[in-house]
Amino acid sequence: METIDPELLRTFLAFVDTGSLTRAAEIVGRSPSAVTAQMQRLEVVVGDTLLEQAGRGRTLTPTGETLVGHARRILDAHREALLSLKGARADGRIALGCTQDFAERGLPDILRLFSVTHPRLRLDLRIGRSAELASAFARGELDLVLAMRDGTSIDERMVLREPMLWLGSAHCLQRAGGEVPLALLDAPCSFRNAAIAALDGAGRRYRIAASSASLSGLAAALKAGIAVTARTARMTTDGITRLDSAFGLPELPDAEFSLRLRPDATTPARSLADLLTDMLPQSAPAQS
């Protein structure tokens, strides 16, 4: 009986999670043409078409939709088996730095799986701002860091791009054409810079209605309806939603996060980096 190469399934799910062959190529580290070739090989194995044209892009066929669940289960089993074999006797400690963007959405499930398969490892977790995490990584205090990208680096294991969105309460005081009340993190902050640049570029008046050193402070301002902010869909929750076109806010660029790994990292740290690279793109919530 013919089997399915897990790499083909990984690329297939990268397309499912991003909706784009180009973005899937970025996630799996291949060229768009190579990703297209992989999808064609997978269709040969499955014996049916998985993708079909939809306007200028592509969407899943009914067979493609059916394959999604099977692909996730296969890769989950494959991933857990490898991690268990590698991690059964691993000990020591790993220091991971991460921004709060992922602390509540994405990271918990990954750390749970890693801890189950590496029961003797100690994980030192530091949640903070990108600038301070980058400094700690440069000082050798962290084995891995997941933070906003500040240029290219030879130690990058993954670059994760997610759309910046305008977020606020459904009962936000902001209305189209009026002065925009902003809730922003204290400088330096890439999201702060992007929000202000977008409003300046569109000629929109704004004021800083709330500022905070943490995302929890921003969340309080958003839920109160006194301000809006620019962030990714990872910050959406009860009381915080994406603001639609009725609010008349300008387009925002993509946010870029990078996962960096020390060149002399231990085998368990490299395994955690592999797991983050594999699972984080799947953890992004829907943008709608």
Q: Could you tell me whether strands 206-212 and 156-163 are parallel, antiparallel, or unpaired per DSSP bridges? A: unpaired
Instruction: Say how far residue 255 (Cα) sits from the centre of its chain.
Output: 9
Distance CA 244, CA 242 (A): 6
With a cut of 60, say whether residue 34 has pLDDT above it: yes
| Residue located via tokens 């220091």 | 95
Distance CA 30, CA 204 (A): 40
Read off the tokens for 102: 């992922």
Model pLDDT for residues 234-283, shown as the tens digit of each residue: 999 888 999 877 778 899 999 999 999 999 999 889 989 988 988 888 77
Per-residue pLDDT band for 142 (boundaries 50, 70, 90) equals very high
Q: What is the pLDDT of residue 175?
A: 61
Distance CA 60, CA 53 (A): 9
Model pLDDT for residues 95-117, shown as the tens digit of each residue: 999 998 898 888 998 998 888 88
Q: What is the pLDDT of residue 75?
A: 84
Alpha helices in 29-61 (DSSP H): 32-46
What the chain holds in terms of domains, given with CATH numbers, is 6-83 (1.10.10.10), 88-161+256-283 (3.40.190.10), 165-252 (3.40.190.10)
With a cut of 60, say whether residue 67 has pLDDT above it: yes
The DSSP bridge partners found for residue 159 are 258
Q: Could you tell me whether strands 156-163 and 254-261 are parallel, antiparallel, or unpaired per DSSP bridges? A: antiparallel
Read off the tokens for 200: 């300046």
Q: Residue 219 in contact with residue 235, Cβ under 8 Å?
A: yes
Model pLDDT for residues 175-191, shown as the tens digit of each residue: 656 789 999 998 889 99
pTM of the complete model: 0.74
With a cut of 90, say whether residue 76 has pLDDT above it: no
With a cut of 90, say whether residue 77 has pLDDT above it: no
Which residues, 6 or more positions from 280, have their beta carbon under 8 angstroms from its beta carbon? 102, 106, 110, 146, 158, 160, 259
Distance CA 235, CA 219 (A): 8
Q: Residue 183 in contact with residue 221, Cβ under 8 Å?
A: yes
Residue type, 194: A
